[in-house]
């Protein structure tokens, strides 16, 4: 049985990530692949418990280092319990956020530095990486408008941080695309949803069996 592929979908708030996650899963399923959808923080019972700790409560609940450690701990459990077993079964794993969110949010925007957060991932998860990381990108005014139009979000601890924080998140994702161009691809998220899905599919084309 051939090993599956591991794809992460990333982006700031309000870039249409959930819609595209479902559409990409359907497109890959249509090609005969078994696809599982998962998310971070979360994706395994232990990591979902950590998710509540991270997203609920007020802004001062965790200091930046504690926050980064919790994300890293959740990710370690998610890989061990969900991602790696599925890949071994030959399934494709599509995750809503992964390591690059920590690099962009906690590393770049949170001020810990991308390298420090990558070190946590080396310790927690032996630097386990996706085969491909797709970063949806929209210009900021469009993304802000979309995020504000959604129900119940971004009311969580992190989504509600100021625009300057979210601008730094975007810069962090762009830095990762520059540093690791073979793994991390920036995808234009503007235009009709079907067009964006086609761009995503193209960006994983070389991984298809």
Q: Which residues bind ligand TYD (CB under 6 A)?
A: 13, 17, 40-41, 55, 71, 96-97, 101-102, 105-106, 156, 158-159
**Dihedral sign, Cα of residue 138, residue 139, residue 140, residue 144:** negative
Which residue number has the CB closest to ligand TYD? 105
Which residue is listed with tokens 């920036």? 186
Nearest residue (CB) to ligand TYD, 92 versus 105: 105
- From the CB of 18, what's the least distance to ligand TYD, in Å? 6
Nearest residue (CB) to ligand TYD, 13 versus 131: 13
- H or E element, residue 11: strand 6-11
**Dihedral sign, Cα of residue 168, residue 170, residue 173, residue 178:** negative
Nearest residue (CB) to ligand TYD, 32 versus 152: 152
- From the CB of 97, what's the least distance to ligand TYD, in Å? 4
Nearest residue (CB) to ligand TYD, 13 versus 77: 13
- From the CB of 71, what's the least distance to ligand TYD, in Å? 4
- From the CB of 86, what's the least distance to ligand TYD, in Å? 18
């Amino acid at each position: 049985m051939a090993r599956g592929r591991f794809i992460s979908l990333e982006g700031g708030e309000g870039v249409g990530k959930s819609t595209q996650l479902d559409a990409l899963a359907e497109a890959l399923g249509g090609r005969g692949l078994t696809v599982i959808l998962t998310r971070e923080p979360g994706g395994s019972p232990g990591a979902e418990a950590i998710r509540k700790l991270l997203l609920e409560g007020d802004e001062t609940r965790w200091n930046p280092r504690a926050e980064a450690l919790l994300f890293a701990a959740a990710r370690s459990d998610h890989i061990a319990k969900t991602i790696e077993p599925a890949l071994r079964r030959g399934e494709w794993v599509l995750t809503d956020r992964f390591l690059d969110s920590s690099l962009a949010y906690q590393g770049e925007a949170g001020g810990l530095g991308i390298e420090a957060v990558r070190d946590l991932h080396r310790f927690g998860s032996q630097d386990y990486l996706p085969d491909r990381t797709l970063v949806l990108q929209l210009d900021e005014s469009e993304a802000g408008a979309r995020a504000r139009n959604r129900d119940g979000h971004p009311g969580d601890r992190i989504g509600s941080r100021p625009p300057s924080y979210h601008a730094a998140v975007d810069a962090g994702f762009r830095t990762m695309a520059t540093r690791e161009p073979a793994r991390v691809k920036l995808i234009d998220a503007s235009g009709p949803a079907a067009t964006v899905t086609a761009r995503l599919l193209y960006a994983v084309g070389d991984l298809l069996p």
